[in-house]
């Protein structure tokens, strides 16, 4: 009897264990796509968006559509417009340096009188006269933080300024990952390749990378060099770094283009796999390189979600909601462990 009951007990226990394990399996299989996750987290920072009034009209002025980054953002705007059922017109300047043309477009849109206008300015100042006109007409404006806010306020415009992309954090999470991986093997010397010296985006990513490396005491930054976002320059800089520091263990680059060039230079020097390289932006080539294990990591952030979040912000602000200070789109680390979760990243 006793034995029988213990068998029954064992069976019950085994069954229970299987149930518990089984309930975990679907969870493991449905590991959430990082795009959906970071999108949801980004939206959560803004919180509930009130329903827009019927016939809400929003205008969007982008930099240019001759660049996939802005096209992806445009898609995000359109997606959000559909989701909330609002009317949206999107315009962009012909080229990345058409400052006057962009101002003309904004002024023409102001003449059409929207409920809200979102602008992504080419320079810190070129759209300010248009923002002033919008303010005078009572149009709600949402601008990227690139706008010189002090100058805008002096001129009589007070846009909601969003700095949705946290370049500092991007540099930091990439460098921190490299630092942690290297620390497991005893640490060593690392270098940073930054973009255009003086450009805010480059400066933020560089400082982030410095902070990321410093998080591990066994890591020593031996050099910080600019390569102007340029493939050729990065190739030459990497060659120089390898010459000067034969025992270099890692390089964090301020974008993927430069990181891929660094990989080329490392291959050429016959040091394939001996130097860890990180980039930022997760462009297609970088995605492949991470999947192949050549590129140690990249950092992804989504222009699509920026478009969506700006639309949500405009609707929320129009509905009288206070916009949180540090609204952000979440940047995500892409490495060999997470790359399969980034397939639907856009």
Partner 1 sequence: MYISPYSRKEKIYHRISRFQRPGLLIFLFLMGAFFSLLSPYFLTWENFTNILVQSTVLIIAGTGMTLVIGTAGIDLSIGSILALSGIVMASAMKAGLGVFISMTLGVFSGALMGLLNGLGTARLGISAFIVTLGTTGIYRALALIFTDARPIYGLPRQFRAIGIDSIGPLPISVALTLVVVVLAYLLIVWTPFGINIRSVGNNMEGAFRMGVPIRWVLIGVYMISGATAALASIVVTARLNTAEAIAGLGIELEAIAAVIMGGTSIFGGEASISGTLLGALIIGTLANGLTIINVPSYYQQLVIGIVFILTVIADRIRRREAKAF
Contact letters (x/-) for partner 1, 31-70, by CB under 8 A? ---------------------------------xx-----
Tell me the number of residues near partner 1 by CB under 8 A.
33
Q: Indicate the pairing of strand 332-334 with strand 298-300.
A: antiparallel
From CA 206, how far away is CA 171, in angstroms rounded? 6
Q: Which is nearer to partner 1, 83 or 154 (CB)?
A: 154
Contact letters (x/-) for partner 1, 265-284, by CB under 8 A? --------------------
Interface region with partner 1, contact rule CB under 8 A, candidates 88-96, 185-193, 213-221, 267-275: 88-96
Identify any residues that bridge with 300 across adjacent strands, giving them in sequence order.
Answer: 332
Q: Which ranges in 86-148 belong to alpha helices (H)?
A: 99-112, 128-136
* Least Cβ distance, residue 66 to partner 1 (angstroms): 8
Q: Decide: is 93 part of the binding site for partner 1 (CB under 8 A).
A: yes
Q: Pick from 41, 78, 89, 236: which binds partner 1 (CB under 8 A)?
A: 89
From CA 268, how far away is CA 251, in angstroms rounded? 16
Q: Which residues between 151 and 170 bind partner 1 (CB under 8 A)?
A: 151, 155
Q: Which residues between 95 and 134 bind partner 1 (CB under 8 A)?
A: 95, 97-101, 103-105, 107-109, 111-113, 123-126, 128-129, 132
Q: Which is nearer to partner 1, 108 or 232 (CB)?
A: 108
From CA 197, how far away is CA 176, in angstroms rounded? 22
Q: Pick from 91, 158, 223, 285: which binds partner 1 (CB under 8 A)?
A: 91
Q: Decide: is 81 part of the binding site for partner 1 (CB under 8 A).
A: no
From CA 159, how far away is CA 145, in angstroms rounded? 10
Q: Which is nearer to partner 1, 42 or 126 (CB)?
A: 126
Q: Decide: is 293 part of the binding site for partner 1 (CB under 8 A).
A: no
Query: Helix or strand or coil: residue 37?
Result: helix
Q: Which is nearer to partner 1, 49 or 81 (CB)?
A: 81
Q: Pick from 94, 163, 200, 246: which binds partner 1 (CB under 8 A)?
A: 94
Which pair of structure tokens corresponds to residue 271?
């040091």
Q: Decide: is 92 part of the binding site for partner 1 (CB under 8 A).
A: yes
Identify any residues that bridge with 117 across adjacent strands, giving them in sequence order.
Answer: 59, 141
Which pair of structure tokens corresponds to residue 62?
């982008």
Interface region with partner 1, contact rule CB under 8 A, candidates 26-34, 87-95, 201-209, 336-344: 87-95
Beta strands in the chain (DSSP E): 57-64, 87-93, 116-119, 140-144, 160-162, 188-194, 219-226, 248-253, 276-278, 298-300, 332-334
Report yes or no: 303 and 73 within 8 Å, Cβ to Cβ.
yes
Report yes or no: 311 and 114 within 8 Å, Cβ to Cβ.
no
* Least Cβ distance, residue 121 to partner 1 (angstroms): 11
Identify any residues that bridge with 93 across adjacent strands, giving them in sequence order.
Answer: 64
Q: Indicate the pairing of strand 298-300 with strand 276-278.
A: unpaired
Chain contacts with partner 1 (rule: CB under 8 A): 64-65, 89-95, 97-101, 103-105, 107-109, 111-113, 123-126, 128-129, 132, 148, 151, 155
């Amino acid at each position: 009897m006793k034995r029988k009951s213990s068998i029954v007990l064992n069976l019950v226990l085994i069954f229970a264990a299987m149930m518990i394990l089984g309930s975990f399996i679907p969870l493991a299989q449905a590991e959430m796509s990082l795009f959906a996750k970071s999108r949801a987290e980004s939206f959560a920072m803004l919180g509930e968006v009130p329903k827009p009034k019927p016939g809400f009209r929003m205008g969007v002025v982008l930099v240019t559509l001759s660049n996939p980054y802005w096209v992806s953002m445009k898609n995000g705007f359109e997606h959000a417009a559909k989701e909330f059922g609002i009317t949206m017109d999107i315009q962009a300047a012909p080229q990345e340096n058409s400052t006057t043309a962009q101002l003309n477009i904004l002024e023409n849109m102001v003449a059409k009188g929207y409920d809200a206008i979102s602008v992504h300015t080419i320079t810190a100042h070129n759209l300010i006269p248009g923002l002033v006109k919008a303010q005078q007409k009572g149009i709600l404006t949402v601008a990227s933080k690139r706008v010189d806010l002090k100058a805008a306020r002096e001129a009589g415009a007070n846009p909601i300024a969003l700095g949705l992309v946290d370049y500092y954090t991007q540099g930091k999470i990439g460098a921190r990952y490299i630092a942690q991986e290297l620390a497991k093997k005893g640490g060593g010397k690392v270098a940073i390749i930054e973009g255009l010296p003086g450009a805010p985006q480059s400066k933020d990513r560089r400082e982030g990378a410095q902070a990321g490396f410093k998080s591990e005491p066994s890591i020593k930054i031996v050099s910080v060099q600019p390569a102007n976002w340029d493939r050729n320059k990065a190739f030459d800089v990497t060659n120089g770094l390898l010459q000067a520091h034969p025992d270099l263990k890692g390089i964090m680059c301020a974008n993927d283009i430069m990181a891929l060039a660094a990989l080329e230079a490392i291959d050429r020097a016959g040091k394939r796999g001996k130097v860890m390289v990180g980039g930022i932006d997760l462009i297609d080539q970088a995605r492949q390189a991470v999947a192949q294990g050549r590129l140690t990591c990249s950092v992804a952030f989504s222009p699509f979600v920026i478009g969506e979040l700006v639309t949500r912000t405009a609707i929320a602000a129009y509905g009288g909601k206070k916009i949180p200070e540090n609204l952000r789109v979440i940047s995500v680390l892409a490495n060999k462990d997470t790359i399969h979760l980034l397939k639907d990243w856009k």
